[in-house]
Chains A and B, each alone.
Chain A
Amino acid sequence: MTTKKTDAIVIGAGWAGSILAKELTEAGLSVTILERGEDRATAVEGDYPTSIDELRGAIRHRLFQNLSQSTVTIRNTTDQVAVPYRRLAAFLPGEGVGGAGLHWSGVHFRVAPDDLALRTNVIAKYGKNFIPEGMNLQDYDVTYEELEPFFDKAEKVFGTSGEPYTIKGKVAGTGNPFAPDRSDAFPLPAMKDVYSASIFKKAAANVGYHPYSLPAANASAQYTNPYGVQMGPCNFCGYCSGYDCYMYSKASPNVNILPALRQDPKFTLITKAHVLKVDLDSDGKKATGVTYLDLRTNQEVQLKADLVIISAFQFHNVHLMLLSGIGEPYDPVKNTGTIGRNFVYQTITTSRAWLPSKQYTNLFVGAGGAGVAIDDFNSMNFDHGPLGFVGGSPVWVNQAGVKPIAAAIGGPGGKAPTWGEGYKDAMVETYRHSLTIDAHGSNMAYRDIYLDLDPTYKNAYGQPLLRMTFTWKDNDIRMNQYVVSKIEPIMKELGATRYALGTLHANDVFDTRRYQTTHLGGGAVMGADPKTSAINRYLQSWDVSNVFVIGASAFPQGMGYNPTGMVAALAYWAAYHIRTTYLKNPGPMVQA
């Protein structure tokens, strides 16, 4: 075993890790990122036309985690035996420098402020009995006003395109009227609406909703961010989701942060470094560093540090905490412990409209973050009282560029054949003349939905896999059904010749074979109470004060918005408080 020393270790080179590494080097620390995958640079493998190969890309998982080394096991209920997630399908974690931040789409939201204190808000409005039995509804213990400067900073780093609604309390644009107030405009104007999004915008307005162009971390114009790195204007090539943007238009850690960071002599990036555990001192109160496996030499390396940032993908964060003995593992029977508690996902269902044959939707044209949405049924923007559920969904046309293999395998939709006679006719109509509308919604946390270590299955390094116990619950199914019912008037208004509404159904179980979203959350949540949260409001472990855990793992419940904007803001928020408070006086920043 080799032993080395650095000031701070950052685990994972995705958005959260890259942000923390940048901030901590700015604070004068020597910082080492440990990334288990390969180095990735847009100039090397993201170039045109190398990157725009659907088979090698999204279908054969060029940028996704290779499950052959490590995966998770999944069961729906606690009385089942969990089995491995052997083939990627339902969700697609990244691997390599950039992480999922390299292959994401680029939808870049802030947060619905009500979601940050959802428990408090639901109780204030509807009473405590409104919360269903078994639902662990919680607050983040941070306010939108506190986070606002960090949302602003993240948008400037990402080169986010969008249309504001209010800036400093004054109406400043035609953006989302439900969006919280801003201290400044978006760094770039909103992306243009593709045809399908433009007709959705008109139809949604005509039926009385409030459509807006999505905030997108796809650059609508040439841009130089505060780190001095440049983005090119998006050309709607459609290769965002699952790809690495040959135009340098989609924000990624690789394009927006790492070019600046790589030049800093205090910064070290070690790839093919699989962290086995965070090492703790003899009483388990301090991390002394980490032990990782150098995948090139198969040697274990001990890297010592004063500060350890766990900032891998959501469930890898939880896995590493469980493997390292940081905090108490959650026990759903005794309802004790916090690590693995409040594991959440998102609901998403897709509805389709077919347009007359003279109207072409050109589905291959698109940008991952662009589109038009309504927030009328998101968060607490509508009256839940008579509806009897918690949560909501934005609804949108987010034409991200539909590729032919994915379209063909997905099939023409409706009742059309999925192969053989009649298939081609139906595929042609669907690919040329249809559009899709998603309800992309929240998912609440429940006492019997959680993460722990699997008793049977191991990764390639002999460690137990993480086990997910997850299925859909009545509250979220009914939320989805309600919101989808509100899509129907839009379908009628936009001139569809026919449409098919996609919803969850009563008693649906989570199906791991079909892509839904990669927006997993929770499992190491932030909060005010160490009995129900793993980390405090500064994302600092309650149990090991020199460990911070950054990512969607901090979300107490799943929200309707895409998570990356919130992850980035929380990363800058945590980094700010580490720099201004923690480093001056290392120790717990909140007394338990």
Chain B
Amino acid sequence: MKMPSPTRRHFIGGLLGSASFWLYSDHKVWADALAVGNAGPYAPRYFNKEEWRFLNAACERIYPTDAHGPGARGLGAPEFIDRQMDTAYGRGELWYMSGPFVSAPANLGYQLSLPPREVYRQGIAGADAYVRAHHDGRSFADLEAAEQTAVLKEFEHGEMALGAVPAHLLFEQLRQNTLEGVFSDPLYGGNKGLAGWTLLGFPGARADFMDWVNQEGAAYPFGPVSISGETA
């Protein structure tokens, strides 16, 4: 799903209006975020073609397009996830990744040696292989929406191995990253048109509610604004 062009123009305009400030201010993370081109359809840098098809389909099932508005694809969650793969998070640099790696009760947390980008690389290949074996040779992205949902529900609590990745861990990462993409600042490639925040009524970077501490249950009246100044 493509966003209507006026919103998109506004989005780019908002970024350009402040880019020099952020670059000047030496905010490297944001400078990198701003350096990503906004012209034309997004070309993934980490995911290959098959992985990208899987990711787009899976994100959309987790956060679907409906009467409330665009789903994860329209909001750019797959783009967000692709960009996150080349960050300290994606490379597993925020985690303790020294061995030995042993299996342990689930409540003691993640114990794989794989960083997020490898969870996707191995997990998506495993997921597509699993789906082809159970669905007449079709890959996940080729299934009907209802079938995709059913597969994700199998994965959600499933212990089956998708490559080296237990299915529930692939699902957990997909769900977390999709929702991060939908609800983070648009700087990172998702939440396009601030539609994620608009749905919830979160006003974004306004961050000043001196007059709204207690209005006896009235709804906060102002729409969201992004860090770069985009409004919706």
Contacts and interface: CB of A to CB of B under 8 A. Distances in A.
Interface of A: 48-50, 52-56, 59-61, 66-68, 70-71, 74-76, 80-81, 83-89, 192-195, 198, 233, 235-239, 246, 355, 358-362, 364-365, 403-405, 407-409, 418-421, 423-425, 427-428, 431-432, 456-458, 509-513
A408 B201 contact: no
Interface in B42-56: none
29 contacts: A53-B227, A55-B188, A66-B94, A67-B94, A76-B107, A80-B104, A83-B102, A83-B104, A84-B98, A86-B97, A86-B109, A88-B94, A89-B109, A192-B213, A192-B214, A195-B215, A198-B214, A355-B217, A360-B217, A360-B219, A361-B217, A362-B201, A362-B215, A362-B219, A362-B220, A404-B183, A420-B152, A431-B200, A457-B98
A458 B100 CA distance: 10
Contact of B175 (A70, A85, A360, A418): A418
A237 B107 contact: no
B149 interface: yes
Contacts of A510: 107
Interface in B100-142: 100, 102, 104-111
Given A68-B95, A86-B109, A236-B213, A81 B104 contact: yes
B143 interface: no
Given A86-B111, A364-B203, A365-B212, A428 B96 contact: no
Nearest to A471: B107
Interface in B184-200: 184-185, 187-188, 196-197, 199-200
Given A60-B87, A67-B94, A432-B200, 16 more contacts: A54-B185, A68-B94, A71-B96, A83-B108, A84-B96, A87-B96, A237-B208, A246-B207, A362-B209, A405-B179, A407-B200, A419-B63, A419-B178, A431-B201, A431-B202, A509-B107
Contact of B62 (A237, A238, A420): A420
A17 to B, nearest CB: 24
Nearest to B174: A419
Nearest to B207: A237
B60 to A, nearest CB: 10
Contact of A432 (B94, B105, B176, B219): B219
Chain A CB count within 10 A is highest, among B94, B188, B209, B213, for B213
Contact of A364 (B94, B178, B202): B202
A237 B209 contact: yes
B205 interface: yes
By Cβ-Cβ distance, the 5 closest A-B pairs, closest first, are A237-B207, A359-B217, A404-B183, A55-B184, A408-B179
B144 interface: no
Contacts of A198: 214
Interface of B: 25, 27, 29, 61-64, 66, 68, 87-89, 93-98, 100, 102, 104-111, 149, 152, 175-176, 178-180, 182-185, 187-188, 196-197, 199-203, 205, 207-210, 212-220, 227
Chain B CB count within 10 A is highest, among A52, A67, A83, A359, for A83
Contacts of B175: 409, 418-419
A428 B68 contact: yes
A53 B108 contact: no
Contact of A55 (B106, B180, B210): B180
Nearest to A510: B107
Contacts of A61: 94
A218 B62 CA distance: 38
Contact of B187 (A53, A358, A403): A53
Nearest to B176: A409
A560 B89 CA distance: 34
B201 to A, nearest CB: 5
A477 B67 CA distance: 43
B182 to A, nearest CB: 7
Nearest to B18: A49
Nearest to A403: B202
Contacts of B61: 420
Nearest to B202: A404
Contacts of B188: 55
Contacts of A233: 210
A456 B101 CA distance: 11
B199 A67 contact: no
B81 to A, nearest CB: 12
Contact of B208 (A235, A359, A419): A235
Contacts of A365: 209, 212-213, 220
A86 B200 contact: no
Chain B CB count within 10 A is highest, among A52, A53, A59, for A53
Nearest to A433: B217
A423 B68 CA distance: 11
Nearest to A52: B207
Nearest to A361: B217
Chain B CB count within 10 A is highest, among A84, A407, A409, A420, for A84
B75 to A, nearest CB: 12
Contacts of A512: 107-109
Contact of A195 (B203, B208, B214): B214
B214 A424 contact: no
Given A49-B205, A362-B219, A364-B203, A408 B111 contact: no
A74 B96 CA distance: 13
A166 B108 CA distance: 45
Given A75-B108, A362-B212, A457-B98, A238 B207 contact: yes
B74 to A, nearest CB: 13
B183 A408 contact: yes
A424 B104 CA distance: 34
A67 B89 CA distance: 12
Contacts of B218: 360
B109 A427 contact: no
B27 A50 contact: yes
Contacts of B184: 54-55, 59, 405
Nearest to B175: A419
A49 B197 CA distance: 17
